[in-house]
Structure 1
Amino acid sequence: MANDHEDLFRLLRMMGMPVPEDRDGDDAIPVDAVIGDADDTEGDDKKGTSASSGSGGGKRRSSRGPRGHAGGDLLDRLAQWSKRALIVACIVLVVVLAASYWWFHPALNLQSPQVWSWILGIAAVAAFALKVLSMRSTKHEVLLRRLIIVPIAVIAAFVVGVVAGFPFIPGNAERYATVLETTDGDFAEDIQEVDYADVPVIDRASAILLGARAMGSIPEYVSQFEISDAYSQINYQGRPVRVSPLIYADLFKWFSNRESGIPAYVLVDMVTQEAEVVRLDEPIKYSESEPLARNVDRYVQLKYPTYMFDQKSFELDEGGTPWWVYPVQRRTIGLFEGTTIQRVVLVNACTGETADYAVEDVPTWVDRAYPSDLIIQQYNWSGAYVNGWLNSWLGQRDVVRTTRGTDGELGYNYLAQGEDIYLYSGVSSVTADSSNVGFILVNQRTGESHFYPVAGATEDSAMASAEGELQNLRYQATFPLLLNVAGQPTYFMAMKDDAGLVKMYAMLNVEHYQNVATGSTVAACQDSYLQMLAADGTLSDEQAEASGVQQRVEGKIATIAQAVIDGNSHFYVTLEGSSDIYDFALPDLLSIVRYRVGDQIAFTCTAEEAPTADGSQEDEDATAVAEDVGAALVRPVTAIEQ
């Protein structure tokens, strides 16, 4: 009987039936049970419930049995493979995330948009995966559906954080208006009178041109390095300069020079227009052109992983050591808005040494703790929301903004005062395009901001006026620099030719911008401008005398001659004991007609040389006077004392 059972088991196994192994004792399976199973299987086949006829169908049917030996092995293998695949996938994911973090180095800060782009991506993938798993698993469907709430909540938190930064949210308009605290100032008192030995006469574009020429004079550098686009304007040893490091020309040049580093930086003096390539005793190892670990952006971000850095600048300390200056952002409104500067990190470009300062403790040689674009944005917030959000677009009472600039660029320039650099920009009403209501000066190291209410021309209007004065030469004006000249806010511009070279200079008063003074040198332009201010009455007699452009003269008239020049009448007067000729122009100085030779007279005049009599004169006496005095100085008279 046992042999019959064995034969039957062998037959069933050959047919693919799930027959257990033979066992002795109490655990042995009764024959009737096995036969019964076989009968049930055969009955199912007869009913058409098997997958297909033949042994293949029998195998597929048996593999679905929960306790079958063959099916159990297959399920075990699948379960083990899934676990291994899950582990491998997790490892790959971690490696990819770590490599991505190292390469892209986002700030690990919940106020960083880049971090939120990663969080939202992960949350979206997690929500999708949980949804799919809940559809495939009936056992854990409820739990998986509940877990979907987690990524959805993350996405909802992001939306709430973004909306919380909108200016129409109650209280936000006031917060925007006070991110940059601006106070009114007195221009004549706050801003030192200009020293023309320290006036920067070139702009960034001209500095780039001069730097490229200086670089071209060193062949061994030109073949390996280029000049960075940084060209930061700083005060270096009391001089306004622009400075920019060299960078590797390409990846192959980096590979060839990475051990020796970058040997120099370019320094352009904005007053003398001299450019030089400054060689370093210790080369720059941490730069923006490094592709790997010494890339300065990656280096500083990985060292301070939670800091959100703003636009960096390249600066020099007073010893000439190059540093990278990294302002650290802080958001004050909602999740991403109300940006201001909280700290500053300094990175030694040669050694990689770092220093972390609160913004109020930054060393005085640092000039750019607050980036220019951020200052403009902060002031425009205060100008827009000074009277609330609704007024910013509906009534627009007292709504102002900074100068729009030219060629799509923001309109600002820099003013050097003492050890600091101040950002200057005009301020105009949002409803006016041709005039300014004042201007701002913001200390880029401390963030101290002052508004000066001086109505006058916009910068682009001033540039057009200066270009019109020299329209026959077709010179182009640089963006104006704001100067204090004899207590007067004054636009100063360099006039460049088509090659980008500075040829002349122009000055005009911010309030009275119709008249333009020009000169081939800064000193000549200054003299012409001061005389123009004295002539039109902008300067008082005391201011004119203090500035040296006017002098009081008193004496007895030796000769008087009348002439007509360009259709205007002039009286030319000489005094006893002096060879100078004094020009009294009519009709402004009509009272000169009352004076005769031998009369005592007192008047004020300038030191500018006026046009002398020439062949077009109609009065022979004036010609005789001009011939007698030869090359004597002709000085225009501005006022006659009664």
Structure 2
Amino acid sequence: MKKKQKQHYTGKKWIAALVVIVLIFAAIYYYIALPAINIHNPELWKFVLFVLVIAFALYALPKTTFTGDRRHPVNFSGSYKTKTFKLLAALIVIIAAAYFVGTLLSSPIINASKYQKLMKVEKSKFTKDIDQISYDQIPLLDKSSAEILGARKMGSLVDLASQFEVADEYSQINYKNNPVRVTPLRYADLIKWFTNKKAGIPAYIKIDMATQQTELVRLKEGMKYTPYDHFGRYLYRHLRFKYPTYMFDDINFEINEEGVPYWVCSVKKYNIGLFGGQTVGRVVLCNAITGECKDYDVKDTPKWIDRVYSADLLVSLYQYHGTLKHGFINSILGQKDCLTTTNGYNYLAINDDVWVYTGVTSITSDQSNVGFVLMNQRTMETKYYEIEGAIEDSAMTSAEGKVQNLGYKATFPLLLNIDAEPTYFMALKDASGLVKKYAMVNVHNYQIVATGDTVNDCEASYRSLIQSNGISPDEKTGETSQKTITGTIKKIAQAVIDGTSHYYIVLDESDLIYDVDISKHLDTILLEAENKVTIKYTEGTPATVIEIQKQ
């Protein structure tokens, strides 16, 4: 019998086999990790290092010969002297060193002034930019409350509840000038994806943050490109194969004015060195139903889109602006003129854009703000308002103290303009997360706290409190916000708010409701329907009566 010839896997054959193995590893890694092919992408550097390390490890393994079914290791003592071995080792060292140096040269330690200028901040006037807006434009709920409403709505839908769950997106947007949160459904598990993938995800949930109305919006055609799909329909893989060089950051669920669902995909832009100074350079719109994508420069983003810059990115950019004014070392040691944001934020709708609100305090401050900022999530426009007052945590504690017998917890506040007076507004929730009351707290004096079962009741009580504390908006602003009307009483009704009696009056000549604090205008108890009166008031919902006289 002829003896079997030994097969030697050395030299060119071994290198060819090594290349094939490395390419297989690289393809699997790329398909799963989906790194952007971009020199500014740290993940790409890690990907290249991963491939080189795998190649190095495989090349360093002892080569083998095979005789029949017996395996004998070959002496490998000289392999470290080969050119391939030295080349792989050198590449690993060079790329690792370049990554380390690139990271260092991109950091705020070396580029403090560049980081400080990433965000342009404009000083502005509170009463000029923030009008007294209608309460149907104010988000009265926070995300956690929206999640409760969404879960309840989903639980009532027997035909969908067994196959789908509510996703945790709950993006806050302006939809037809109303603040809403929207979130898609998602497949309950992988098996449910296989059984439902042909039709796609059939609906999304829309919650009006002012009225708490919750609606399941059913689609004529299901969503087939989402983060909850798999393989080629997995949203991130779909985007990566279309835009291999784009570094996607925040991917946000929104609907356009016709209610069509889209994914708003912000593309990172690094402005400092290789990996530093991240902002947003482009925006990709991906239709969640068809997968069709449109690519925009950030300045050309359609106006119906509300969220290009995430709240966390905007806050971090303002942190650089506020802390690095005198360099990195000063931000750590001396901390002269260092300002920082407070430990939370909320959203405010102004001119059909969503703005992130957060307070600004000295980095060494205890419980006081020096001002606050509004940051536009579509354009990154930032405005700073120099208003001293209580920090949000203090206002929240003060509001909770007002209802301590009920154990309600306050949401992070919004900042409103009530008679030119900066005012914290917040919801008060019970242990189950449901909104039970509303509170308003004066920014300058957080001891001035008003609560109410409705927003209108809360506002009426607050207006009475600021007037009784001698706060006159007209004197502070130099503007005349008071108005006068003479008319016939159409209807008059009594109510008690926070222990104080109020009369509410409607005139034949006006659709406004006029709120009269009886403790200040005792003669009002003598009035009745058909009486003719002259009322001096400030506008609001309801209007606050400053003076009332019977004619």
When normalised by structure 2's length, the TM-score is 0.83
- For 2:272 and 2:526, how far apart are their aligned partners in 1? 78
- For 1:353 and 1:416, how far apart are their aligned partners in 2? 29
1:163 aligns with 2:72: no
**8 Å Cα contact 1:130/1:147 also seen in 2:** no
Instruction: Find 2:377's aligned residue among 408, 420, 444.
Output: 444
**8 Å Cα contact 2:474/2:481 also seen in 1:** no
**8 Å Cα contact 1:131/1:145 also seen in 2:** no
Instruction: Find 2:33's aligned residue among 104, 107, 110.
Output: 104
- For 1:305 and 1:155, how far apart are their aligned partners in 2? 23
Q: Hey, what does 1:519 align to over in structure 2?
A: 452
Q: Hey, what does 2:295 align to over in structure 1?
A: 356
Counterpart AA for 1:423 = V
Deviates more, 1:231-240 or 1:298-307: 298-307
Q: 1:638 to 1:318 in 2, by over 3 A?
A: closer
- For 1:198 and 1:161, how far apart are their aligned partners in 2? 46
Quote the offset at 1:123 in angstroms: 3.8
**Greater gyration radius:** 1
Q: Hey, what does 1:318 align to over in structure 2?
A: 257
- For 1:89 and 1:168, how far apart are their aligned partners in 2? 42
1:289 aligns with 2:228: yes
1:504 aligns with 2:437: yes
Q: 1:151 to 1:517 in 2, by over 3 A?
A: same
Q: Hey, what does 2:400 align to over in structure 1?
A: 467
Quote the offset at 1:465 in angstroms: 0.5
Quote the offset at 1:318 in angstroms: 0.5
Counterpart AA for 2:91 = V
Q: 1:639 to 1:431 in 2, by over 3 A?
A: farther
**8 Å Cα contact 2:415/2:422 also seen in 1:** yes
Quote the offset at 1:483 in angstroms: 1.4
Q: 1:149 to 1:322 in 2, by over 3 A?
A: same
**Deviation readout 1:355-410 (Å, 9 max, x if unpaired):** 11111000000000001111111111111111111211121111011112xxxxxx
Instruction: Find 2:22's aligned residue among 82, 88, 93.
Output: 93
**8 Å Cα contact 1:163/1:334 also seen in 2:** no
Quote the offset at 1:147 in angstroms: 6.5
Q: Hey, what does 2:283 align to over in structure 1?
A: 344
Larger helix share, 1 or 2: 1
1:609 aligns with 2:527: no
1:116 aligns with 2:45: yes
Equivalent residue runs for 1:37-116 within 5 Å? 77-79=6-8, 84=13, 86-116=15-45
SS at match of 2:248: coil
Quote the offset at 1:292 in angstroms: 1.5
**8 Å Cα contact 1:167/1:176 also seen in 2:** yes
- For 2:172 and 2:7, how far apart are their aligned partners in 1? 66
Quote the offset at 1:90 in angstroms: 2.8
Counterpart AA for 2:109 = F
Counterpart AA for 1:121 = F
Structure 1: runs of 5 or more not aligned: 1-69, 405-410, 554-565, 567-579, 581-604, 614-624
Counterpart AA for 2:273 = G
Larger strand share, 1 or 2: 2
Quote the offset at 1:80 in angstroms: 5.6
Quote the offset at 1:544 in angstroms: 12
Quote the offset at 1:628 in angstroms: 7.9
Q: 1:95 to 1:506 in 2, by over 3 A?
A: same
Q: Hey, what does 1:149 align to over in structure 2?
A: 90
Q: 1:522 to 1:147 in 2, by over 3 A?
A: closer
1:196 aligns with 2:135: yes
**Deviation readout 1:49-102 (Å, 9 max, x if unpaired):** xxxxxxxxxxxxxxxxxxxxx9xx96xx44467655543443233223213212
SS at match of 2:320: helix
Quote the offset at 1:283 in angstroms: 1.2
**Deviation readout 1:414-452 (Å, 9 max, x if unpaired):** 000122000001111111131111111000000111111
SS at match of 1:379: helix
Counterpart AA for 2:191 = F
Counterpart AA for 2:95 = V
Equivalent residue runs for 1:237-386 within 5 Å? 237-386=176-325
**8 Å Cα contact 1:261/1:284 also seen in 2:** yes
1:483 aligns with 2:424: no
Deviates more, 1:237-246 or 1:125-134: 125-134
SS at match of 1:312: strand
- For 2:123 and 2:441, how far apart are their aligned partners in 1? 23
**Deviation readout 1:509-560 (Å, 9 max, x if unpaired):** 2112211011111111112222222222322457899666x8799xxxxxxx
TM-align CA RMSD: 3.4
Counterpart AA for 2:272 = I
Counterpart AA for 2:113 = E
- For 2:289 and 2:54, how far apart are their aligned partners in 1? 43
- For 1:92 and 1:372, how far apart are their aligned partners in 2? 43
- For 1:96 and 1:429, how far apart are their aligned partners in 2? 51
Quote the offset at 1:244 in angstroms: 0.1
Counterpart AA for 1:293 = G
Counterpart AA for 2:321 = S
Q: Hey, what does 2:153 align to over in structure 1?
A: 214
SS at match of 2:226: coil
SS at match of 1:107: coil
SS at match of 1:201: coil
- For 1:466 and 1:392, how far apart are their aligned partners in 2? 33
Structure 2: runs of 5 or more not aligned: 63-74, 487-498, 500-504, 506-513, 537-543
Q: 1:611 to 1:639 in 2, by over 3 A?
A: closer
